[in-house]
Amino acid sequence: MEVEAARLIAKAIVMTSMLGTAIGEGYLLGKGFEAMGRNPEISDSLFTKMIIGVAMAESTAIYALVAFFIM
């Protein structure tokens, strides 16, 4: 196999790790909004925590992106 082809396949494999991030973020946001709808008084505090959680879940995708660019 040529080196360039192997590189492209590796890049494609790295991108599949973003699937988990999408699922995790969707679950987090859905649950967060559900809780906010039930209890609108604490929505400010919940929103900050939700954004932090989303950022944490997103880190896998960011690592994948960085690996994609340096590959």
Name every residue whose Cβ is closer than 8 Å to that of residue 54 and which is 6 or more positions away in sequence.
25, 28, 29
Choose between 13 and 51: whose C-beta lies nearer to another protein.
51
Choose between 24 and 58: whose C-beta lies nearer to another protein.
58
**Counting contacts by CB under 8 A, is residue 71 touching another protein?**
no
**Counting contacts by CB under 8 A, is residue 23 touching another protein?**
no
Using CB under 8 A as the binding rule, the residues of this chain from 25 to 54 that contact another protein are 44-45, 48, 51-52
Query: How many CB atoms lie under 10 A from the CB of residue 9?
Result: 11
Q: Quick one: DSSP state of residue 38? A: H
